[in-house]
Structure 1
Amino acid sequence: MTSAPPTFDTRGLADILDASSQEQLDTLDFGVIGFDADARVQRYNAFESQAAGLSPQRVIGEPLFTNVAPCLNNFMVAQRFEDAAFDAAELDDTIDYVLTLRMRPIKVKLRLLASAASGTRYVLVQRR
């Protein structure tokens, strides 16, 4: 990672996150959830842990769309990752979203990142 931490909107962010240590992820001011082809969470930063109230020990290795964040298991989020994987296509979409699980509804921006070159996909969460 460069000396200045990346922002939510940084170009090429998936590659930067792939190359980042856990300590570097924990310095970011937005949530990072990285998951594998089976949708099991592999990376989870401190910002998201604190905001969601879920410890990394509870989240790492768990299925994202069923156990961790079932409110993302829909056509707007989960299906986009499935479609990108099926088409072997890049995914870099930012959408307005409302998180509803385990909390009062919270408006956020989600950035959905997937690369055919990387085994890790990302849901980034920017709270307003």
Structure 2
Amino acid sequence: MTSSALAASFADAALLPQLHQAADTELDTLDFGVIGFDAEGFVRRYNLFESRAAGLSPQRVLGHALFTVVAPCMNNFLVAQRFEDAAAQAVPLDETIDYVLTLRMRPVKVKLRLLAAPGDALRYVLVNRG
């Protein structure tokens, strides 16, 4: 993508390919959190919205294991297991769930969108706090 802003919303049906193509600066224009991680679970993309909302700097998140170091509150059957199951079955994952974030903060109700596709280098957890 060549524009400086990504015209995408949390619920866009074709959001996964847009995220893959977007520059990090474009992810920073979104009004929801974006956490992109690789097949081993290490965070590779982390946008400004999520950094500010979670109170975690990119330096504390990028390159670290999402489900054990960054957000162990997501290391359960609702989130992490869904990514593992989709990968094991080689099927796409696009689910939105109501969730409560609890780590390093008082409980915060959010919607999480879990996105992954077979063969893609990155998977995404999107966090909508609105």
TM bracket (short chain): over 0.9
Residue type of the alignment partner of 1:52: A
* 1:59 counterpart residue number: 61
Residue type of the alignment partner of 1:70: P
Say yes or no: does 1:49 pair with 2:46.
Answer: no
* 1:122 counterpart residue number: 124
Unmatched tracts of structure 1, length 5 or more: none
Count matched residues: 128
Match 2:74 to one of 72, 75, 99: 72
| RMSD, aligned CA | 1.2
Unmatched tracts of structure 2, length 5 or more: none
> 1-side partners of 2:6 and 2:64: how far apart?
31
- When structure 1 is superposed on structure 2, of 89-98 and 115-124 the one drifting more is 115-124
* CA-CA distance at 1:4 after TM superposition: 5.8
Alpha carbons 2:28, 2:47 under 8 Å: kept: yes
Given the superposition, is the C-alpha separation of residues 4 and 34 from structure 1 closer, same or farther in structure 2, using an over 3 Å criterion? closer
Matches within 5 A, 1:98-109: 98-109=100-111
Q: TM-score, normalised by structure 1?
A: 0.97
> 1-side partners of 2:6 and 2:41: how far apart?
30
> Percent identity, aligned pairs only?
64
Q: Deviations over 1:89-120 (max 9, x none)?
A: 10000000000000000000000000113110
Say yes or no: does 1:91 pair with 2:96.
Answer: no
Residue type of the alignment partner of 2:123: R
Residue type of the alignment partner of 2:54: A
